[in-house]
Amino acid sequence: MPQYQAPLADYQFLLKDWLSLDSHYQSLGVTDFDFELASEVMSQGAKFAEDVLAPLNRTGDEQGCTLKEGQVTTPDGFAQAYHEYIANGWNSMLGSAEYDGQELPYSMAVPVHEMLHSANLSWRLTSMLTESAVLAVTRHATQQLKDTYLAKLISGEWTGTMNLTEPQAGTDLALLSTKAEPQDDGSYKVTGNKIFITGGDHEWTSNIVHMVLARTPDAPAGVKGISLFLVPKFLPDGQGEPGEANAVSVGSLEHKMGIKGSPTCVMNYDGATGWLVGEENQGLVCMFTMMNDARFQVGLEGLGASEASFQGALAYARERVQSRAPQGVQCPDDKADPIVFQPDVARMLLTQKALTEGCRAMAVLYSGYMDAERFGDDDQKTTASQVLQFLTPVCKAFMTDMGLESASLGVQVFGGHGYIREWGMEQLMRDVRIAQLYEGTNGIQALDLIGRKLTRNKGQMMETTFNELSKRVEAITDTTMQSQANALLNDWRATSADCLGLAPEDVASAACDYLAYTAYSLVGVLWYSMADAAKQSDNTDLASAKQKTCDFYQARILPRRDAHKVAMQAGAASVLSVSGSEFDYR
Protein backbone atom coordinates (compact mmCIF):
# COMPACT_ATOMS: atom_id res chain seq x y z
CA MET A 1 0.00 0.00 0.00
CA PRO A 2 1.54 3.42 -0.86
CA GLN A 3 2.39 5.30 2.34
CA TYR A 4 0.75 8.68 1.77
CA GLN A 5 2.73 11.79 2.72
CA ALA A 6 1.08 15.16 2.18
CA PRO A 7 2.99 17.34 -0.34
CA LEU A 8 3.64 20.10 2.20
CA ALA A 9 6.82 21.49 0.61
CA ASP A 10 5.09 21.89 -2.74
CA TYR A 11 2.16 23.69 -1.14
CA GLN A 12 4.46 25.93 0.86
CA PHE A 13 6.24 26.88 -2.34
CA LEU A 14 2.99 27.48 -4.20
CA LEU A 15 1.42 29.61 -1.49
CA LYS A 16 4.47 31.54 -0.34
CA ASP A 17 6.67 31.95 -3.43
CA TRP A 18 4.18 31.57 -6.26
CA LEU A 19 0.86 32.97 -5.05
CA SER A 20 2.68 35.37 -2.63
CA LEU A 21 0.04 34.65 -0.05
CA ASP A 22 0.68 37.59 2.30
CA SER A 23 0.49 40.14 -0.54
CA HIS A 24 -2.52 38.30 -1.96
CA TYR A 25 -4.38 38.69 1.36
CA GLN A 26 -3.30 42.33 1.66
CA SER A 27 -4.58 43.09 -1.83
CA LEU A 28 -7.99 41.75 -0.74
CA GLY A 29 -7.94 43.72 2.52
CA VAL A 30 -7.75 40.49 4.53
CA THR A 31 -5.83 41.21 7.71
CA ASP A 32 -6.55 38.21 9.96
CA PHE A 33 -4.70 35.62 7.91
CA ASP A 34 -1.17 35.09 6.68
CA PHE A 35 1.18 32.46 5.29
CA GLU A 36 2.26 31.38 8.77
CA LEU A 37 -1.29 30.43 9.68
CA ALA A 38 -1.81 28.74 6.31
CA SER A 39 1.31 26.69 6.95
CA GLU A 40 0.03 25.59 10.34
CA VAL A 41 -3.41 24.69 8.95
CA MET A 42 -1.77 22.61 6.21
CA SER A 43 0.54 20.79 8.64
CA GLN A 44 -2.34 19.84 10.91
CA GLY A 45 -4.49 18.83 7.93
CA ALA A 46 -1.60 16.70 6.65
CA LYS A 47 -1.42 14.87 9.99
CA PHE A 48 -5.12 14.08 9.94
CA ALA A 49 -4.96 12.85 6.34
CA GLU A 50 -1.82 10.76 6.88
CA ASP A 51 -2.52 9.33 10.35
CA VAL A 52 -6.30 9.01 10.50
CA LEU A 53 -7.71 8.75 6.96
CA ALA A 54 -5.03 6.99 4.94
CA PRO A 55 -4.96 3.90 7.20
CA LEU A 56 -8.72 3.44 6.59
CA ASN A 57 -8.52 3.62 2.80
CA ARG A 58 -7.80 -0.01 2.02
CA THR A 59 -10.10 -1.50 4.68
CA GLY A 60 -12.85 0.86 3.55
CA ASP A 61 -12.51 -0.47 0.01
CA GLU A 62 -12.63 -4.08 1.21
CA GLN A 63 -15.53 -3.71 3.65
CA GLY A 64 -17.72 -1.30 1.70
CA CYS A 65 -21.03 -0.07 3.10
CA THR A 66 -24.00 -2.13 4.25
CA LEU A 67 -27.75 -1.50 4.45
CA LYS A 68 -29.65 -3.25 7.23
CA GLU A 69 -33.21 -2.45 8.30
CA GLY A 70 -33.14 0.85 6.48
CA GLN A 71 -29.90 2.06 8.08
CA VAL A 72 -26.60 2.38 6.21
CA THR A 73 -23.34 1.56 7.99
CA THR A 74 -20.00 2.70 6.59
CA PRO A 75 -16.70 0.79 6.97
CA ASP A 76 -15.02 0.41 10.39
CA GLY A 77 -13.36 3.58 11.59
CA PHE A 78 -15.11 5.93 9.12
CA ALA A 79 -17.61 7.35 11.64
CA GLN A 80 -14.93 7.75 14.31
CA ALA A 81 -12.66 9.58 11.85
CA TYR A 82 -15.57 11.88 10.99
CA HIS A 83 -16.17 12.66 14.65
CA GLU A 84 -12.51 13.54 15.07
CA TYR A 85 -12.70 15.67 11.91
CA ILE A 86 -15.59 17.78 13.13
CA ALA A 87 -14.32 17.95 16.72
CA ASN A 88 -11.13 19.54 15.41
CA GLY A 89 -13.06 22.11 13.39
CA TRP A 90 -12.10 20.92 9.90
CA ASN A 91 -15.68 20.92 8.69
CA SER A 92 -16.18 24.56 9.61
CA MET A 93 -13.10 25.96 7.85
CA LEU A 94 -15.10 27.79 5.17
CA GLY A 95 -18.46 28.39 6.87
CA SER A 96 -19.78 31.84 7.72
CA ALA A 97 -18.75 33.28 11.12
CA GLU A 98 -22.40 34.21 11.69
CA TYR A 99 -23.06 30.47 12.10
CA ASP A 100 -19.84 29.68 13.96
CA GLY A 101 -17.79 28.98 10.86
CA GLN A 102 -14.13 30.04 10.68
CA GLU A 103 -14.42 31.85 7.32
CA LEU A 104 -10.90 30.85 6.35
CA PRO A 105 -9.71 31.82 2.89
CA TYR A 106 -10.11 29.09 0.27
CA SER A 107 -6.35 29.20 -0.32
CA MET A 108 -5.94 27.71 3.18
CA ALA A 109 -8.67 25.10 2.87
CA VAL A 110 -7.95 23.80 -0.65
CA PRO A 111 -4.57 22.23 0.23
CA VAL A 112 -6.23 20.34 3.09
CA HIS A 113 -9.03 19.22 0.80
CA GLU A 114 -6.54 17.79 -1.69
CA MET A 115 -4.89 15.86 1.16
CA LEU A 116 -8.22 14.39 2.30
CA HIS A 117 -8.94 13.22 -1.24
CA SER A 118 -5.49 11.64 -1.61
CA ALA A 119 -5.74 9.83 1.70
CA ASN A 120 -9.26 8.49 1.39
CA LEU A 121 -11.49 9.57 -1.47
CA SER A 122 -14.53 7.57 -0.32
CA TRP A 123 -14.48 9.08 3.14
CA ARG A 124 -14.10 12.66 1.96
CA LEU A 125 -17.19 12.75 -0.29
CA THR A 126 -19.81 13.21 2.42
CA SER A 127 -18.14 16.23 4.04
CA MET A 128 -17.40 17.64 0.60
CA LEU A 129 -21.07 17.68 -0.37
CA THR A 130 -22.01 19.10 3.02
CA GLU A 131 -19.80 22.13 2.25
CA SER A 132 -21.60 22.54 -1.07
CA ALA A 133 -25.01 22.28 0.65
CA VAL A 134 -23.89 24.99 3.10
CA LEU A 135 -23.26 27.31 0.15
CA ALA A 136 -26.72 26.69 -1.35
CA VAL A 137 -28.48 27.27 1.98
CA THR A 138 -26.36 30.35 2.73
CA ARG A 139 -27.04 31.99 -0.62
CA HIS A 140 -30.64 30.97 -1.30
CA ALA A 141 -32.58 29.78 1.77
CA THR A 142 -34.95 31.78 3.98
CA GLN A 143 -33.68 33.20 7.26
CA GLN A 144 -35.66 30.58 9.15
CA LEU A 145 -34.05 27.71 7.24
CA LYS A 146 -30.63 29.27 7.70
CA ASP A 147 -31.16 29.60 11.44
CA THR A 148 -32.34 26.01 11.76
CA TYR A 149 -29.78 24.27 9.56
CA LEU A 150 -26.65 26.29 8.89
CA ALA A 151 -24.83 26.06 12.22
CA LYS A 152 -25.32 22.30 12.32
CA LEU A 153 -24.21 21.79 8.72
CA ILE A 154 -21.19 24.04 9.17
CA SER A 155 -20.03 22.32 12.35
CA GLY A 156 -20.69 18.93 10.76
CA GLU A 157 -23.17 17.87 13.43
CA TRP A 158 -25.43 17.14 10.42
CA THR A 159 -24.34 16.32 6.86
CA GLY A 160 -25.84 17.36 3.51
CA THR A 161 -26.55 15.63 0.20
CA MET A 162 -27.31 16.65 -3.36
CA ASN A 163 -30.33 14.96 -5.00
CA LEU A 164 -30.59 15.57 -8.72
CA THR A 165 -30.36 12.24 -10.48
CA GLU A 166 -33.36 10.01 -11.24
CA PRO A 167 -33.39 6.81 -13.30
CA GLN A 168 -34.64 8.65 -16.43
CA ALA A 169 -32.95 12.00 -15.68
CA GLY A 170 -29.15 12.11 -15.49
CA THR A 171 -27.49 14.75 -17.65
CA ASP A 172 -30.89 15.93 -18.84
CA LEU A 173 -32.53 17.34 -15.74
CA ALA A 174 -35.46 18.57 -17.84
CA LEU A 175 -36.69 14.98 -17.55
CA LEU A 176 -36.86 14.86 -13.78
CA SER A 177 -40.24 13.97 -12.33
CA THR A 178 -40.04 14.17 -8.50
CA LYS A 179 -43.06 16.17 -7.30
CA ALA A 180 -43.45 18.76 -4.55
CA GLU A 181 -47.03 19.60 -3.40
CA PRO A 182 -47.45 22.84 -1.44
CA GLN A 183 -49.03 22.53 2.04
CA ASP A 184 -51.03 25.07 4.01
CA ASP A 185 -48.21 25.64 6.49
CA GLY A 186 -45.78 26.70 3.74
CA SER A 187 -43.98 23.37 3.57
CA TYR A 188 -44.15 20.89 0.65
CA LYS A 189 -44.72 17.14 0.36
CA VAL A 190 -41.94 15.71 -1.79
CA THR A 191 -42.56 12.44 -3.65
CA GLY A 192 -40.22 10.64 -6.02
CA ASN A 193 -37.12 8.47 -6.41
CA LYS A 194 -33.55 9.60 -6.66
CA ILE A 195 -30.64 7.35 -7.56
CA PHE A 196 -26.86 7.50 -7.00
CA ILE A 197 -27.11 9.80 -3.96
CA THR A 198 -23.72 10.19 -2.27
CA GLY A 199 -23.94 10.10 1.53
CA GLY A 200 -27.71 9.45 1.24
CA ASP A 201 -27.56 7.66 4.57
CA HIS A 202 -24.89 6.74 7.15
CA GLU A 203 -24.41 6.35 10.88
CA TRP A 204 -22.14 9.38 11.34
CA THR A 205 -24.66 12.03 12.40
CA SER A 206 -28.05 12.41 14.05
CA ASN A 207 -29.57 14.03 10.95
CA ILE A 208 -28.98 14.32 7.20
CA VAL A 209 -30.16 17.28 5.13
CA HIS A 210 -31.12 16.40 1.57
CA MET A 211 -31.14 19.12 -1.09
CA VAL A 212 -33.70 17.81 -3.58
CA LEU A 213 -34.72 18.99 -7.04
CA ALA A 214 -38.46 18.56 -7.71
CA ARG A 215 -41.40 20.07 -9.60
CA THR A 216 -44.36 21.90 -8.13
CA PRO A 217 -47.80 20.98 -9.59
CA ASP A 218 -48.13 23.86 -12.07
CA ALA A 219 -44.47 24.13 -12.96
CA PRO A 220 -43.59 24.64 -16.63
CA ALA A 221 -42.05 21.69 -18.45
CA GLY A 222 -38.28 21.37 -18.75
CA VAL A 223 -35.57 22.95 -16.63
CA LYS A 224 -37.60 26.13 -16.12
CA GLY A 225 -39.99 24.17 -13.91
CA ILE A 226 -37.51 22.80 -11.39
CA SER A 227 -37.35 23.97 -7.78
CA LEU A 228 -34.98 23.15 -4.93
CA PHE A 229 -36.18 21.75 -1.60
CA LEU A 230 -34.49 21.10 1.70
CA VAL A 231 -35.70 17.74 3.06
CA PRO A 232 -34.25 16.53 6.39
CA LYS A 233 -34.07 12.86 7.38
CA PHE A 234 -35.57 13.83 10.76
CA LEU A 235 -37.82 16.86 11.15
CA PRO A 236 -36.35 19.33 13.65
CA ASP A 237 -38.38 19.63 16.89
CA GLY A 238 -39.14 22.86 18.77
CA GLN A 239 -35.52 23.08 19.95
CA GLY A 240 -34.13 22.45 16.46
CA GLU A 241 -33.02 18.92 17.39
CA PRO A 242 -33.85 15.83 15.27
CA GLY A 243 -37.47 14.85 16.01
CA GLU A 244 -40.00 12.81 14.06
CA ALA A 245 -38.67 10.68 11.19
CA ASN A 246 -39.46 12.19 7.78
CA ALA A 247 -40.88 10.04 4.94
CA VAL A 248 -37.42 9.51 3.44
CA SER A 249 -35.91 6.05 3.09
CA VAL A 250 -33.00 4.28 1.46
CA GLY A 251 -34.21 1.86 -1.23
CA SER A 252 -30.83 0.22 -1.75
CA LEU A 253 -27.11 0.77 -1.96
CA GLU A 254 -25.44 0.92 -5.38
CA HIS A 255 -22.69 -1.68 -6.02
CA LYS A 256 -19.81 0.17 -7.61
CA MET A 257 -16.45 -0.12 -9.36
CA GLY A 258 -14.74 2.04 -6.71
CA ILE A 259 -15.31 4.50 -3.83
CA LYS A 260 -16.81 1.52 -2.03
CA GLY A 261 -16.52 3.19 1.37
CA SER A 262 -18.86 5.97 0.20
CA PRO A 263 -22.55 5.15 0.60
CA THR A 264 -24.21 5.75 -2.80
CA CYS A 265 -27.94 5.38 -2.17
CA VAL A 266 -31.24 5.01 -3.95
CA MET A 267 -33.47 7.44 -2.05
CA ASN A 268 -37.24 7.21 -1.82
CA TYR A 269 -39.28 10.29 -0.95
CA ASP A 270 -42.86 9.31 -0.05
CA GLY A 271 -44.60 12.59 0.71
CA ALA A 272 -41.57 13.77 2.72
CA THR A 273 -41.80 17.21 4.29
CA GLY A 274 -39.52 19.76 2.66
CA TRP A 275 -39.08 23.50 2.33
CA LEU A 276 -38.45 25.58 -0.76
CA VAL A 277 -34.93 26.99 -1.13
CA GLY A 278 -34.76 30.06 -3.35
CA GLU A 279 -37.58 30.99 -5.68
CA GLU A 280 -40.01 28.50 -7.15
CA ASN A 281 -38.82 27.29 -10.59
CA GLN A 282 -35.34 28.68 -9.93
CA GLY A 283 -34.06 25.38 -8.54
CA LEU A 284 -31.39 24.85 -11.12
CA VAL A 285 -29.83 28.25 -10.44
CA CYS A 286 -29.73 27.45 -6.71
CA MET A 287 -28.41 23.96 -7.35
CA PHE A 288 -25.65 25.43 -9.52
CA THR A 289 -24.30 27.23 -6.46
CA MET A 290 -23.82 23.78 -4.99
CA MET A 291 -22.67 22.14 -8.19
CA ASN A 292 -20.02 24.69 -9.15
CA ASP A 293 -18.39 24.26 -5.75
CA ALA A 294 -18.65 20.49 -6.04
CA ARG A 295 -17.25 20.54 -9.58
CA PHE A 296 -14.04 22.17 -8.42
CA GLN A 297 -13.86 19.77 -5.48
CA VAL A 298 -14.27 16.83 -7.86
CA GLY A 299 -11.31 18.25 -9.77
CA LEU A 300 -9.38 18.03 -6.49
CA GLU A 301 -10.34 14.34 -6.32
CA GLY A 302 -8.42 13.85 -9.57
CA LEU A 303 -5.47 15.80 -8.21
CA GLY A 304 -5.50 13.87 -4.93
CA ALA A 305 -5.51 10.49 -6.67
CA SER A 306 -2.76 11.61 -9.02
CA GLU A 307 -0.52 12.63 -6.11
CA ALA A 308 -1.15 9.42 -4.18
CA SER A 309 -0.45 7.28 -7.25
CA PHE A 310 2.76 9.19 -8.01
CA GLN A 311 4.02 8.66 -4.48
CA GLY A 312 3.36 4.91 -4.67
CA ALA A 313 4.95 4.60 -8.11
CA LEU A 314 8.08 6.57 -7.19
CA ALA A 315 8.73 4.52 -4.05
CA TYR A 316 8.25 1.26 -5.95
CA ALA A 317 10.42 2.30 -8.89
CA ARG A 318 13.30 3.04 -6.53
CA GLU A 319 13.05 -0.41 -4.92
CA ARG A 320 12.17 -2.66 -7.83
CA VAL A 321 15.31 -4.01 -9.52
CA GLN A 322 15.03 -5.27 -13.13
CA SER A 323 17.45 -5.10 -16.10
CA ARG A 324 20.30 -2.68 -16.68
CA ALA A 325 19.64 0.97 -17.49
CA PRO A 326 20.38 1.65 -21.21
CA GLN A 327 22.38 4.79 -20.36
CA GLY A 328 24.86 2.69 -18.34
CA VAL A 329 25.08 0.49 -15.25
CA GLN A 330 23.75 2.34 -12.20
CA CYS A 331 24.30 -0.17 -9.39
CA PRO A 332 27.35 -2.30 -10.26
CA ASP A 333 27.19 -4.30 -7.01
CA ASP A 334 23.70 -5.57 -7.83
CA LYS A 335 22.59 -7.95 -10.58
CA ALA A 336 20.33 -5.28 -12.10
CA ASP A 337 19.39 -1.62 -11.66
CA PRO A 338 16.28 -0.13 -10.03
CA ILE A 339 13.62 0.51 -12.69
CA VAL A 340 13.59 4.23 -11.80
CA PHE A 341 16.64 4.48 -14.10
CA GLN A 342 14.76 3.04 -17.09
CA PRO A 343 13.92 5.98 -19.38
CA ASP A 344 10.42 4.65 -19.99
CA VAL A 345 9.74 4.43 -16.25
CA ALA A 346 11.24 7.89 -15.74
CA ARG A 347 8.90 9.12 -18.49
CA MET A 348 5.89 7.72 -16.64
CA LEU A 349 6.97 9.13 -13.29
CA LEU A 350 7.72 12.56 -14.72
CA THR A 351 4.39 12.58 -16.55
CA GLN A 352 2.68 11.92 -13.23
CA LYS A 353 4.74 14.60 -11.50
CA ALA A 354 4.31 17.24 -14.21
CA LEU A 355 0.56 16.67 -14.43
CA THR A 356 0.08 16.57 -10.66
CA GLU A 357 2.05 19.71 -9.91
CA GLY A 358 0.62 21.52 -12.94
CA CYS A 359 -2.93 20.71 -11.82
CA ARG A 360 -2.04 21.72 -8.28
CA ALA A 361 -0.93 25.14 -9.55
CA MET A 362 -4.27 25.43 -11.35
CA ALA A 363 -6.08 24.56 -8.10
CA VAL A 364 -4.09 27.12 -6.12
CA LEU A 365 -4.73 29.76 -8.78
CA TYR A 366 -8.43 28.95 -8.62
CA SER A 367 -8.44 29.15 -4.82
CA GLY A 368 -6.90 32.63 -5.03
CA TYR A 369 -9.82 33.78 -7.17
CA MET A 370 -12.26 32.15 -4.76
CA ASP A 371 -10.65 34.28 -2.04
CA ALA A 372 -11.10 37.36 -4.22
CA GLU A 373 -14.74 36.54 -4.91
CA ARG A 374 -15.34 36.26 -1.19
CA PHE A 375 -13.21 39.04 0.33
CA GLY A 376 -12.42 41.42 -2.53
CA ASP A 377 -13.90 44.79 -3.51
CA ASP A 378 -16.55 44.96 -6.25
CA ASP A 379 -14.06 45.03 -9.12
CA GLN A 380 -12.04 42.15 -7.68
CA LYS A 381 -15.24 40.17 -7.19
CA THR A 382 -16.37 40.73 -10.77
CA THR A 383 -13.02 39.70 -12.22
CA ALA A 384 -12.80 36.68 -9.92
CA SER A 385 -16.30 35.54 -10.77
CA GLN A 386 -15.52 35.60 -14.50
CA VAL A 387 -12.25 33.70 -14.13
CA LEU A 388 -13.89 31.13 -11.85
CA GLN A 389 -16.81 30.58 -14.18
CA PHE A 390 -14.42 30.02 -17.07
CA LEU A 391 -12.04 27.76 -15.16
CA THR A 392 -14.60 25.59 -13.32
CA PRO A 393 -15.23 23.14 -16.20
CA VAL A 394 -11.51 23.17 -17.05
CA CYS A 395 -10.53 22.23 -13.47
CA LYS A 396 -13.25 19.61 -13.14
CA ALA A 397 -12.60 17.83 -16.42
CA PHE A 398 -8.85 18.23 -16.88
CA MET A 399 -7.90 17.45 -13.29
CA THR A 400 -10.02 14.29 -13.29
CA ASP A 401 -8.85 13.17 -16.74
CA MET A 402 -5.26 13.66 -15.60
CA GLY A 403 -6.10 11.96 -12.29
CA LEU A 404 -7.11 8.81 -14.14
CA GLU A 405 -4.13 9.02 -16.50
CA SER A 406 -1.76 9.37 -13.57
CA ALA A 407 -3.42 6.57 -11.60
CA SER A 408 -3.16 4.32 -14.66
CA LEU A 409 0.53 5.21 -15.09
CA GLY A 410 1.01 4.35 -11.42
CA VAL A 411 -0.36 0.86 -12.09
CA GLN A 412 1.92 0.60 -15.13
CA VAL A 413 5.04 1.47 -13.14
CA PHE A 414 4.25 -1.46 -10.83
CA GLY A 415 3.96 -3.86 -13.78
CA GLY A 416 1.73 -6.85 -12.99
CA HIS A 417 1.98 -6.00 -9.30
CA GLY A 418 0.00 -2.84 -10.01
CA TYR A 419 -2.95 -4.99 -11.00
CA ILE A 420 -2.82 -6.94 -7.75
CA ARG A 421 -4.94 -5.56 -4.92
CA GLU A 422 -2.40 -5.59 -2.10
CA TRP A 423 -0.42 -2.63 -3.49
CA GLY A 424 -3.37 -0.26 -3.55
CA MET A 425 -2.54 1.14 -6.99
CA GLU A 426 -5.56 -0.42 -8.67
CA GLN A 427 -7.84 0.99 -5.97
CA LEU A 428 -6.69 4.51 -6.80
CA MET A 429 -7.59 3.89 -10.42
CA ARG A 430 -10.99 2.42 -9.59
CA ASP A 431 -11.76 5.17 -7.08
CA VAL A 432 -10.85 8.13 -9.28
CA ARG A 433 -12.74 6.84 -12.34
CA ILE A 434 -16.05 8.18 -11.02
CA ALA A 435 -14.69 11.73 -10.94
CA GLN A 436 -14.92 11.94 -14.75
CA LEU A 437 -18.60 11.04 -14.54
CA TYR A 438 -20.38 12.76 -11.69
CA GLU A 439 -21.14 16.45 -11.18
CA GLY A 440 -21.73 16.52 -14.93
CA THR A 441 -19.66 14.18 -17.11
CA ASN A 442 -16.46 15.57 -18.55
CA GLY A 443 -18.16 15.74 -21.94
CA ILE A 444 -20.75 18.04 -20.41
CA GLN A 445 -18.01 20.17 -18.82
CA ALA A 446 -16.46 20.59 -22.25
CA LEU A 447 -19.80 21.67 -23.75
CA ASP A 448 -20.26 24.11 -20.88
CA LEU A 449 -16.82 25.61 -21.58
CA ILE A 450 -17.07 26.05 -25.34
CA GLY A 451 -20.84 26.48 -25.62
CA ARG A 452 -21.56 28.78 -22.67
CA LYS A 453 -18.49 30.11 -20.89
CA LEU A 454 -16.54 30.95 -24.04
CA THR A 455 -19.42 32.48 -25.98
CA ARG A 456 -21.17 34.50 -23.26
CA ASN A 457 -20.77 38.26 -23.91
CA LYS A 458 -18.64 37.57 -26.96
CA GLY A 459 -15.86 35.85 -25.09
CA GLN A 460 -15.66 38.20 -22.11
CA MET A 461 -14.84 35.47 -19.56
CA MET A 462 -12.07 34.16 -21.78
CA GLU A 463 -10.71 37.69 -22.22
CA THR A 464 -10.73 38.30 -18.46
CA THR A 465 -8.96 34.97 -17.88
CA PHE A 466 -6.45 35.91 -20.58
CA ASN A 467 -5.80 39.31 -18.95
CA GLU A 468 -5.33 37.76 -15.53
CA LEU A 469 -2.91 35.13 -16.84
CA SER A 470 -1.07 37.84 -18.78
CA LYS A 471 -0.26 39.50 -15.45
CA ARG A 472 1.33 36.24 -14.30
CA VAL A 473 3.34 36.08 -17.52
CA GLU A 474 4.49 39.70 -17.14
CA ALA A 475 5.89 38.79 -13.72
CA ILE A 476 8.15 36.05 -15.17
CA THR A 477 11.73 37.35 -14.85
CA ASP A 478 13.39 34.94 -17.28
CA THR A 479 12.89 36.57 -20.68
CA THR A 480 13.01 33.30 -22.66
CA MET A 481 10.38 31.65 -20.49
CA GLN A 482 8.34 34.82 -20.54
CA SER A 483 8.20 34.96 -24.32
CA GLN A 484 7.36 31.23 -24.53
CA ALA A 485 4.53 31.69 -22.03
CA ASN A 486 3.30 34.71 -23.98
CA ALA A 487 3.28 32.74 -27.22
CA LEU A 488 1.21 29.99 -25.57
CA LEU A 489 -1.27 32.45 -24.15
CA ASN A 490 -1.67 34.40 -27.39
CA ASP A 491 -2.19 31.26 -29.43
CA TRP A 492 -4.86 30.14 -26.96
CA ARG A 493 -6.65 33.47 -27.17
CA ALA A 494 -6.62 33.57 -30.99
CA THR A 495 -7.77 29.94 -31.27
CA SER A 496 -10.52 30.54 -28.72
CA ALA A 497 -11.73 33.60 -30.62
CA ASP A 498 -11.93 31.46 -33.79
CA CYS A 499 -14.40 29.16 -32.00
CA LEU A 500 -16.89 31.96 -31.40
CA GLY A 501 -18.58 31.78 -34.79
CA LEU A 502 -18.77 27.98 -35.19
CA ALA A 503 -21.95 26.12 -36.15
CA PRO A 504 -23.61 24.25 -33.23
CA GLU A 505 -22.53 20.79 -34.42
CA ASP A 506 -18.94 21.99 -34.87
CA VAL A 507 -18.99 23.46 -31.36
CA ALA A 508 -20.32 20.22 -29.88
CA SER A 509 -17.86 18.01 -31.74
CA ALA A 510 -14.90 20.28 -30.88
CA ALA A 511 -15.80 20.59 -27.18
CA CYS A 512 -13.58 17.95 -25.55
CA ASP A 513 -10.60 18.84 -27.72
CA TYR A 514 -11.09 22.55 -27.00
CA LEU A 515 -11.13 21.90 -23.26
CA ALA A 516 -7.99 19.76 -23.45
CA TYR A 517 -6.25 22.31 -25.72
CA THR A 518 -7.17 25.07 -23.26
CA ALA A 519 -6.00 23.12 -20.23
CA TYR A 520 -2.67 22.01 -21.71
CA SER A 521 -2.03 25.63 -22.82
CA LEU A 522 -2.89 27.15 -19.44
CA VAL A 523 -0.94 24.55 -17.48
CA GLY A 524 2.01 25.26 -19.81
CA VAL A 525 1.82 28.93 -18.83
CA LEU A 526 1.57 28.00 -15.16
CA TRP A 527 4.63 25.75 -15.45
CA TYR A 528 6.76 28.62 -16.83
CA SER A 529 5.50 30.85 -14.07
CA MET A 530 6.22 28.22 -11.39
CA ALA A 531 9.71 27.41 -12.68
CA ASP A 532 10.55 31.11 -12.63
CA ALA A 533 9.19 31.63 -9.11
CA ALA A 534 11.04 28.54 -7.88
CA LYS A 535 14.35 30.27 -8.56
CA GLN A 536 13.58 32.48 -5.58
CA SER A 537 12.87 29.53 -3.31
CA ASP A 538 15.29 28.64 -0.48
CA ASN A 539 14.72 24.99 -1.33
CA THR A 540 17.37 24.30 -4.01
CA ASP A 541 16.12 20.78 -4.81
CA LEU A 542 12.66 22.18 -5.37
CA ALA A 543 14.02 25.00 -7.57
CA SER A 544 15.97 22.69 -9.87
CA ALA A 545 13.19 20.06 -9.92
CA LYS A 546 10.60 22.68 -10.91
CA GLN A 547 12.77 23.89 -13.81
CA LYS A 548 13.44 20.36 -15.03
CA THR A 549 9.82 19.30 -14.68
CA CYS A 550 8.78 22.45 -16.55
CA ASP A 551 11.20 21.51 -19.35
CA PHE A 552 9.74 17.99 -19.39
CA TYR A 553 6.17 19.33 -19.52
CA GLN A 554 6.91 21.68 -22.41
CA ALA A 555 8.89 19.04 -24.36
CA ARG A 556 6.86 15.89 -23.72
CA ILE A 557 3.34 16.84 -22.66
CA LEU A 558 2.56 20.20 -24.23
CA PRO A 559 2.70 18.77 -27.80
CA ARG A 560 -0.60 17.03 -27.02
CA ARG A 561 -2.10 20.52 -27.24
CA ASP A 562 -1.31 20.70 -30.96
CA ALA A 563 -3.06 17.38 -31.64
CA HIS A 564 -6.16 18.62 -29.81
CA LYS A 565 -6.08 21.86 -31.78
CA VAL A 566 -5.91 20.04 -35.11
CA ALA A 567 -8.71 17.67 -34.05
CA MET A 568 -11.03 20.43 -32.85
CA GLN A 569 -10.52 22.37 -36.08
CA ALA A 570 -11.45 19.33 -38.20
CA GLY A 571 -15.16 20.08 -37.82
CA ALA A 572 -18.15 17.86 -37.19
CA ALA A 573 -18.30 16.06 -40.54
CA SER A 574 -16.03 13.12 -39.64
CA VAL A 575 -17.66 12.73 -36.21
CA LEU A 576 -21.17 12.54 -37.63
CA SER A 577 -20.39 10.71 -40.87
CA VAL A 578 -20.86 7.08 -39.74
CA SER A 579 -24.45 6.39 -38.86
CA GLY A 580 -27.20 3.78 -38.47
CA SER A 581 -26.42 0.45 -40.09
CA GLU A 582 -22.83 1.50 -40.75
CA PHE A 583 -22.20 0.80 -37.07
CA ASP A 584 -23.86 -2.62 -37.31
CA TYR A 585 -22.51 -4.24 -40.47
CA ARG A 586 -20.34 -6.79 -38.70
Kindly state the DSSP code that residue 563 receives in the 8-state scheme. H
Contacts with ligand FAD by CB under 6 A lie at 162-165, 170-171, 196-198, 256, 264, 434, 437-438, 440-441, 443-444, 447
Could you tell me which residues come within 8 angstroms of residue 528 by beta carbon, excluding any fewer than 6 positions away? 473, 476, 481, 482, 484, 485, 488, 550, 554
Q: How far is CA 216 from CA 99, 161, 178, 229, in A?
A: 31, 21, 9, 10
Could you tell me which residues come within 8 angstroms of residue 108 by beta carbon, excluding any fewer than 6 positions away? 33, 37, 38, 41, 42, 93
Q: Which is nearer to ligand FAD, 56 or 290 (CB)?
A: 290
Shortest distance in whole angstroms from residue 80 CB to ligand FAD: 23
Q: Which is nearer to ligand FAD, 274 or 440 (CB)?
A: 440
Q: Which is nearer to ligand FAD, 293 or 468 (CB)?
A: 293
Could you tell me which residues come within 8 angstroms of residue 4 by beta carbon, excluding any fewer than 6 positions away? 49, 50, 54, 118, 119, 308, 311
* 77 backbone dihedrals φ, ψ, rounded to 5°: 90, -20
Shortest distance in whole angstroms from residue 509 CB to ligand FAD: 10
Could you tell me which residues come within 8 angstroms of residue 581 by beta carbon, excluding any fewer than 6 positions away? none
439 tagged catalytic? yes
Shortest distance in whole angstroms from residue 256 CB to ligand FAD: 5
Q: How far is CA 381 from CA 44, 106, 119, 132, 404, in A?
A: 30, 14, 33, 20, 33
Q: Which is nearer to ligand FAD, 583 or 585 (CB)?
A: 583
Residue 458, CB-side half-sphere exposure with 13 Å CA sphere? 0
Q: Which is nearer to ligand FAD, 256 or 381 (CB)?
A: 256
CA separation for the pair 190, 471 (Å, rounded): 50
Shortest distance in whole angstroms from residue 441 CB to ligand FAD: 3
CA separation for the pair 261, 284 (Å, rounded): 29
Kindly state the DSSP code that residue 458 receives in the 8-state scheme. G
What amino acid occupies position 422?
Answer: E
Q: Which is nearer to ligand FAD, 159 or 408 (CB)?
A: 159
Shortest distance in whole angstroms from residue 11 CB to ligand FAD: 28
Shortest distance in whole angstroms from residue 265 CB to ligand FAD: 9
Shortest distance in whole angstroms from residue 124 CB to ligand FAD: 13
Q: Which is nearer to ligand FAD, 198 or 406 (CB)?
A: 198
CA separation for the pair 503, 120 (Å, rounded): 43
CA separation for the pair 252, 115 (Å, rounded): 30
Catalytic residue among 439, 468, 474, 505: 439
Q: Are 158 and 207 in contact (CB under 8 A)?
A: yes
CA separation for the pair 411, 421 (Å, rounded): 11
Shortest distance in whole angstroms from residue 187 CB to ligand FAD: 22
Where is 43: in which H helix or E strand?
helix 35-47
The closest residue (CB) to ligand FAD is 170
Q: How many CB atoms lie within 10 A of CB 568?
A: 25
Q: Which is nearer to ligand FAD, 246 or 262 (CB)?
A: 262
Residues annotated as catalytic (active site), given as ranges: 439
